Amino acid sequence: MTDITYSFLNDPEKVKLLEKTNERLNINVNDTDKPLIFIYSAPKVGSTSLVSSLRIFGSNKVSVIHIHDEEMLKVLAHIENITVNEIILYNGYLGRNVYVINVYRSPIERKISAFFEKIGCYHFNTEDAIVNNYDINRVINRFNNIFPYISLGDHFIDRYNIDYPLSFDFSNKHLLVKIQNISYISLRLKDSLLWGNILTDIFKFKICIVKDYESVNKPIKDLYNLFKQNYRVPINLLDSVMNCKYLNYYYSNQERVNYYNEWQQNSTVIQIPYNLEQYRLYEEVSLENCHYDRVQIDHYMDEGCVCKACNLKRNEVRSKIIGGCTVTEKIIHSEAKTELIEKRVMRANTLNRFFPNRFRRKDFKKEMSNLMKNK
């Protein structure tokens, strides 16, 4: 499509739902000077790092919304009968400068990461801590059985509903398609070391990329690391991956050769996975047994709050990142607020100790009271 059509404008009820969705996603429709960024990509491709990086370095310059699909929208905003594309187009219609960012990740790595994301609640119907003690061969066998059905598709190609370029831009390491005031961007996880420069050039402010929400830092990390050490992909599954249209779009001929050779060195004999009927039964049973919802809303390094306490914490974290320090701290409102209060209490105690008449008790209580009200 070369032009944007706003078909939802013909449906007043749809427009009301879109207005409500913006409210629930905390999208300020009056803030037209601030670009609105939708990180709209498949799960397990590195999108969380993008979200936190953009918030840490641009919380006062851009607004960032992270969404994978309509199911996540339902859980986050309690809104149904609205598509993510409709939200994007609606905000473009309102005059916002909108960016939509996708990330592509190589297939085997993405399948492994996606499998471990739901390994306890979905694949084995138990807690991750229990699965951590399972025999690794049992886990590998389960993964190979469902290998062809894990993590298929790419949002840029399948969901954005745009005319995308015939091939990936291997020189600039990203794609950018602009239609009116909406810019659609696609990145590759394999180029993540270049993301900072790419996004800095696009958004015109300094952006450094932080690592966030990696599987090696989760409760399942022991089994995950053991899996990576022991996994050998069955050669027939590796061969099937090389026919993937997304891999063939995002990787050059030489990159595909390199990818195949790397995994061929870690391949093993043929294993026949579930057929489609078997997998559908597996999926049905797994969904029935799944004991809690795995849509996650609180796993970011930076939650995006712009209160005084969070901005101060954000400045501190940003300085450390620019200075080359490894940062594990998170910018979470409740924690940032508590930290700021503790710092002010320590400062007040120090002042009282050396200058007892300078900082009166009632002034101290007033300042602490005001800080506690700051949300």
Report, as an integer, the average pLDDT of 321-331.
Answer: 73
pLDDT higher than 80, residue 193: yes
Characterize the bridge pairing of strands 174-179 and 233-234.
Answer: unpaired
Q: Average pLDDT of the chain?
A: 86
* Residue 312: per-residue pLDDT: 77
Lookup: tokens for 89:
């187009």
Please tell me the pTM assigned to this model: 0.84
Q: Which residue has the higher pLDDT, 371 or 202?
A: 202
pLDDT tens per residue across span 212-262: 655 555 678 889 999 999 999 999 999 999 999 999 999 999 999 999 999
Q: Which range (109-123, 268-282, 287-301) has the least confidence?
A: 287-301
How buried is 287 (Cβ within 10 angstroms: 0-12 exposed, 13-18 middle, 19+ buried)?
exposed
Rounded to 10 degrees, what is the CA torsion of 60, 72, 24, 39?
A: 20
79, 73 Cβ separation under 8 angstroms: yes
pLDDT number for residue 355 = 60
Q: In angstroms, rounded to a whole number, what is the distance separating the alpha carbons of residues 249 and 260?
A: 15
- How does strand 36-40 pair with strand 98-104? parallel
Q: Would you call 22 helix, strand, or coil by DSSP?
A: helix
Write the pLDDT tens digit of every residue in 138-157: 999 999 999 999 999 999 99
Residue 154 contacts by C-beta under 8 Å, 6 or more apart in sequence?
42, 102, 104, 246, 249, 250
8 A C-beta contact, residue 70 and residue 83:
yes
- Residue with the bigger pLDDT between 279 and 335: it is 279
Indicate the SS3 state at residue 359.
coil
Alpha carbons within 13 angstroms on the beta-carbon side of residue 170 total 11
| CA dist., res. 337 & res. 311, Å (int) | 10
Tell me if residue 117 falls in helix, strand or coil. helix
- Report the candidate in 53, 67, 60 with the shortest Cα–Cα distance to residue 21: 67
50: confidence class by pLDDT, cuts 50, 70, 90:
very high
For 117-155, letters b (16+ CB in 10 Å) and e give: bbbbbbbbeeebeebbebeeeebbebbbbbbbebbeebb
